[in-house]
Amino acid sequence: MYSEKVMDHFMNPRNVGEIPDANGIGEVGNPVCGDIMKIYLKVVDNRIQDVKFNTFGCGSAIASSSMATELIKGKTLEEAWELTNKAVAEALDGLPPIKMHCSVLAEDAVRKAINDYRVSAGLEPWDFKEHEDIHEQVHGG
């Protein structure tokens, strides 16, 4: 049911923890399953110098956060903003359809963290609507 990459990132998640002097933090929760993901960014010169996460959630959510942090590390904020949950799932060699919503948490948490940084740096936050379709996805609708 799960790809080897999902299992690997679930069993050995990369970049777990907190960044004490993070300058961008994004937290999202899935109202249906109750899972929570928090992403910490250390942004220097518009680039994500370091990123860590804490996820209280299912295996797919942990694997998605781990992969997402790997994908955005060293990237500019513009590049990281383009990260979609589909790209995260593809990098994991796929997630089962009923688990796709877990990867949505990663996309939303990264974007929230980027906007948190932008606002505290005195910049305009970028347009962003948190996914509202998580609920239907959980129920397969």
Catalytic residues: 33, 102
Total residues binding ligand FES (CB under 6 A): 9
Interface with ligand FES includes 35 (CB under 6 A)? yes
- Per DSSP, helices labelled H in 1-130 are 4-11, 59-72, 77-81, 85-91, 100-120
Nearer to ligand FES, 24 or 57 (CB): 57
Nearer to ligand FES, 52 or 99 (CB): 99
Q: Which residue has the tokens 């990663």?
A: 106
Q: φ and ψ at 50, to 5 degrees? A: -145, 150
| The residue to which tokens 């593809």 are assigned | 90
Contact track, ligand FES, 43-82, x by CB under 6 A: --------------xx-xx---------------------
Q: What are phi and psi of 72, to 5 degrees?
A: -100, -10
Q: How far is the CB of 1 from ligand FES (least distance, A)?
A: 14
